[in-house]
Amino acid sequence: MVALLPPLEAPVDPVDALRRIAFLLERTRAGTYRVEAFRKAARALKGIDDDEVEQRARAGTLKDLPGIGKSTSAVVEESVRGELPAYLASLQEKSSGPLVAGGEDLYAALQGDCHLHSDWSDGGSPIDEMVLTGIELGHRWMVLTDHSPQLRIANGLTAERLTQQIGIVDAINRGVGEAFRLFKGIEVDILDDGSLDQTDAMLDQLDLVTASVHSKLRMNSGPMTRRMVAAVLNPRVNVLGHCTGRLVEGSRGKRPQSDFDARAVFEACLEGGTAVEINSRPERCDPPDELVELALEIGCLFSVDSDAHAPGQLDMKAYGCERAERLGVPWDRIVTTWDADRVHAWANPA
CB count within 10 Å of CB 207 equals 21
Mean pLDDT score of the chain: 95
Task: Provide the pLDDT for residue 151.
Answer: 84
Q: What is the pLDDT of residues 154-170, one digit of tens each?
A: 889 999 999 999 999 99
Prior bond to 330 cis, omega within 30?
Answer: no
**Sign of the four-CA dihedral 261, 267, 269, 275:** positive
Task: Provide the pLDDT for residue 284.
Answer: 97
- Could you give the CA distance from residue 270 to residue 304 in angstroms, rounded to a whole number? 17
- Could you give the CA distance from residue 119 to residue 100 in angstroms, rounded to a whole number? 28
Strand segments, DSSP code E, in 255-346 are 275-279, 302-305
State how far Cα 263 lies from the chain centre: 27
Task: Provide the pLDDT for residue 3.
Answer: 74
Look at residues 277, 184, 264, 275 and name the one whose alpha carbon lies nearest to residue 230.
Answer: 264
Kindly give the parts of the chain with pLDDT less than 50: none
Q: What is the pLDDT of residues 193-215, one digit of tens each?
A: 999 999 999 999 999 999 999 99
What pTM was computed for the model? 0.95
Task: Provide the pLDDT for residue 153.
Answer: 84
Beta bridge partner(s), residue 144: 184
Please calculate the CA angle 108-111-115 and round it to the nearest 5 degrees: 115
Q: How far, in Å, are 205, 269, 293 from residue 30 at the CA level?
A: 36, 35, 32
CB count within 10 Å of CB 303 equals 29
Answer whether 150's CB lies under 8 Å from 189's CB: yes
Task: Provide the pLDDT for residue 252.
Answer: 83
- Could you give the CA distance from residue 144 to residue 118 in angstroms, rounded to a whole number? 8
Answer whether 63's CB lies under 8 Å from 74's CB: no
Please, is 9 exposed, middle or buried when counting C-beta atoms within 10 Å of its C-beta (0-12, 13-18, 19+)?
A: exposed
